[in-house]
Structure 1
Amino acid sequence: MRARVWGGLSAVVLGGLMVTGCGGGKDTAGGSAGGAGNTGSGAHPVTVTDCTGARTVFSAPPERIVTSNGAGLELLLRLGAGDKVIGTGFPPGRGTLPADVDAQARKVRVLSRTVIPKEKLLGSGADLYLDTFASMNMGAGMGDTPTEEEFRAAGIKHVFLKSTACAATRKSPLTDLSAVEADITTLGAVTGTSARAKELVGGMQEKLAAVRDAVGGTAAGERPTYFFFDYDAGTRQPMAVCNRQIAHAVITLAGARNVFADCDGDFRQVGWEDVIARNPDWIQLGVRTRGSEAANEKAFDAARKWLETNSATKGLKAVREGRFLRINSERTTIAGVGNADTVEEIAKALHPGKVG
């Protein structure tokens, strides 16, 4: 396969964002990714690869970054590289990001409320486009995206948050957050913020270790079953979170059993009869952030009401017993530091008294 290379004669090949291949789990964060990410030196050149193994070389940190959505934007802000971001698509609603980064996010130019139009993206002046989507099951609304040749002609290096973008092509179920941690480590190396990346990953690992110590040893048969209800994907035919998606790892780490753990891939439309047959103990009301706490609560209420009044779902065990979790979709299905917080929140709800 022809390499995608811009400058630099030699480099360390990093994992995470662009780790060679699409394997999930612990293998994703192994090898050279950890070593390079832990140096804290920000040394370049740095080489990363995409879902297919095509290589991109950074001879220096990027200076003008455009992000596809709020997930990539949040990571860059947390890493301290927010001053390099010149635009974003799918902007986060006001107040939906943590307070320490929300004000910074408001200053970033919005290139589109949804997918950035191709001509606007290519003419943005960016030298890096951080893409969260790639092979995600995003439906027909992704618009006319640039080809790799068009990115090259515009002088834009195109990289992905691989833990999300390459989910559908993984070879095995994703049961931990090492792919997310590797994304953070690699993005830190690319932007010259490796020391901060190490801090962020360390904080995630500390939270995950505490949950693992509390509930990790729970036998499979004793783990409550869990259904991620993607309310915004539509109610006529539910969208299941499958075992290659980050949400599956989040659910598993929290000491629960994803009712669609037998589904290979990232997302898949199923029937309500499939959900009824699995009769989950808990249901996450996975609505997308609406821009304010009041708007979020209204959406959560609507999702719950639908489940409680629909003839196909009102008899589910979780619905009868009122076992709902109000956690926004993005914190569960999109790569980020907040994934560890979601693990902790789910574990506390499902295993009261065990998780501090």
Structure 2
Amino acid sequence: MRRKLIAALCLTATVTASGCGAHVETSDDARSPAVTLTNCGRQVTYDRVPRRVVTNDVGITEIMFALGLEDRMAGFAMPDDKGDLTGVPWKEGYEKVKWLSKDQLTKENVLAARADLVFAGWNYGFREEDGFTPDALKKLGIPSYVLTESCHNGRSGSARGIMPPLDALYADLTNLGKLFGVEDRAAALVAGFKKRIADVRAQAPEGADRPKVFLYDSGQDTPFTAGRYAAPEQIISEAGGVNVMHDVQDSWTTVGWETVVERDPDVIVICDYGDTSAEQKKKFLLNHPPLRGVSALKNRRVFVLDYADLVESPRNPSAVARLGAYLRTVEKR
């Protein structure tokens, strides 16, 4: 997670780089041709290149930073429980772009920022309960882009995810590269991420030797975890494991402890964020009576990744590499 972007990603035909802090070349965006993208299965047309983007949450914000688009941002919203931001490769972006809210975006702070694009996702800012939706923003004259990992999939109301999670990351990088005229930088990021993940996959065990992994986000009465369309699904599989909730056709969702016990994971990955520390979560799991016989806990095979590693973000390839190294130490019994 604390990696530096390789130098090759700092140079593209469409950005002027200073170290790894890229600056997008200016142009008369008002005269730019309209750009049409496919977002959540719909064709969406943007009349001009946005100049004042606001983002919601850490992964979405860092997608913009990874593309060198901090100069196109008016601010971001995220809680301050998402880990240390001072050591990430995009520290310069965090220093430069205004932190609008330590909660989530609202119509009020979007309007106050004079935003001309909102980049958020369902359950990553967009929500029906108080009307903060792309349709509501459109009525205010503000276009949106929806994080692909969060797209509603139409299976059961609020179920999310329409494609494999890393494909969602690549789709968003490619789309935003096209929208902002930084296609070369986006392509370089995608190529670099794919190569790093392929290198990990080449070392991973196969078949029955692949450890079964359960992602634990939070929850004591019932656990909140990752199904087929959340980023941990592919982080786990590319690292050499099997997500025990692969058959759940949703992204982030709740399951029952009895399902966890029945599927008996070899490893539990803890998502580290929020008021409950990773150590507190681990202690709860180790002492939760229904889980006493689960292999991962009997053998104390618990691995911790940060929240930003486990949502769609440019940190996903690093998470694959670190989890892959851990899983290679696990011997199936």
Percent of pairs with identical residues: 25
SS at match of 2:194: helix
Match of 2:263 in 1: 278
For residue 66 of structure 1, what is the aligned residue in structure 2? 54
**Do the aligned partners of residues 348 and 155 (structure 1) sit closer, same or farther apart at CA in structure 2, a change above 3 Å counting?**
same
Q: Counterpart of 1:312 in 2: which secondary structure?
A: helix
- What does residue 344 of structure 1 align with? 321
Structure 1 residue identity aligned to 2:130: D
**Deviating more after overlay: 222-231 vs 269-278:** 269-278
Corresponding residue number in structure 2 for 1:95: 84
What are the Cα deviations for residues 96-123 of structure 1, in whole angstroms up to 9, with x where unaligned? 3653312431442233222222233234
Structure 2 counterpart of 1:163: 149
User: Quick one: structure 1 residues 185 and 137, their matched pair in 2 at CA, closer, same or farther if it must change by over 3 Å?
Assistant: closer
CA contact (8 A) 1:286 1:327 kept: yes
CA distance in 1, matches of 2:255, 2:147: 27
Superposition misfits of 4+ residues, deviation over 4 angstroms: 38-44, 91-94, 136-139, 169-172
**TM-score of the aligned structures, taking structure 1 as reference length:** 0.75
Between the aligned partners of 2:119 and 2:34, the Cα distance in structure 1 is 18
Are 2:315 and 1:315 equivalent residues in the alignment? no
Give the structure 1 partner of residue 215 of structure 2: 228
Give, as a single letter, the amino acid of the residue that structure 2 aligns with 1:67: T
Distance 2:267 2:202 in 1: 22
What is the alpha-carbon root mean square deviation over aligned residues? 2.9
Partner AA of 1:254 in structure 2 = A
Contact 1:64 1:127 in 2 (8 A): yes
Q: Say whether residues 1:303 and 2:281 are aligned partners.
A: yes
- In structure 2, give the amino acid aligned to 1:83: D
Aligned CA distance change for structure 1 residues 228 and 50 (closer, same or farther; 3 Å): same
Aligned partner of residue 277 in structure 2, secondary structure? helix
Q: 1:249 aligns with which of 234, 240, 251?
A: 234
Higher strand share: 2
1:329 to 300, 303, 307: 307
How many angstroms apart in 2 are the aligned matches of 1:94 and 1:278?
Answer: 30
**What residue identity is the alignment partner of 1:322?**
R
Q: After TM superposition, list the pairs within 5 Å mapping 1:258-297 onto structure 2.
A: 258-288=243-273
Structure 2 residue aligned with 1:205: 194
Separation (CA, whole Å) in 2 of partners of 1:83 and 1:244? 31
Q: Deviations over 1:183-230 (max 9, x none)?
A: 111111112222221221122011111012222x611x2211000011
Q: 1:79 aligns to what?
A: 67
For 1:293, the equivalent position in structure 2 comes to none
Equivalent residues of 2:70, 2:96 under 8 A apart: no
- Checking the alignment, whether the CA contact within 8 Å between 2:105 and 2:125 is kept in structure 1 is no
Tell me if the contact between 1:185 and 1:197 (Cα under 8 Å) persists in the aligned partners: yes
Structure 2: which 5+ runs fail to align? 1-11, 16-23, 25-31, 154-158
Report SS of the residue matched to 2:305: coil
Question: Aligned residue pairs: how many?
Answer: 298
Whether the aligned pair in 1 keeps the contact of 2:149 and 2:161 (CA below 8 Å) is no
Give the aligned partner of residue 132 of structure 2: 146
1:154-198 per-position Cα deviation (integer Å, ceiling 9, x unaligned): 3311111213344635567x3x62221121111111122222212
Alpha-carbon distance in structure 1 between the residues aligned to 2:101 and 2:247: 36
Q: For residues 90 and 273 of structure 2, what CA distance do their matches in structure 1 show? A: 19
Query: Residue deviations 1:249-302, cap 9 Å, x none?
Result: 111111111111122222332221211111110000112267xxxxxxx81211
CA distance in 1, matches of 2:274, 2:184: 30
Write the mapping of 1:125-140 to structure 2, written as runs, cut at 5 A: 125-131=114-120, 133-134=121-122, 136=123
- TM norm structure 2: 0.79
Amino acid at match of 2:251: D
Which residue does the alignment assign to 1:16? none
Q: 1:137 to 1:110 in 2, by over 3 A?
A: closer
Q: Does 1:56 align with 2:44?
A: yes
Aligned letter for 1:326?
V
How much has 1:64 moved relative to structure 2?
0.4
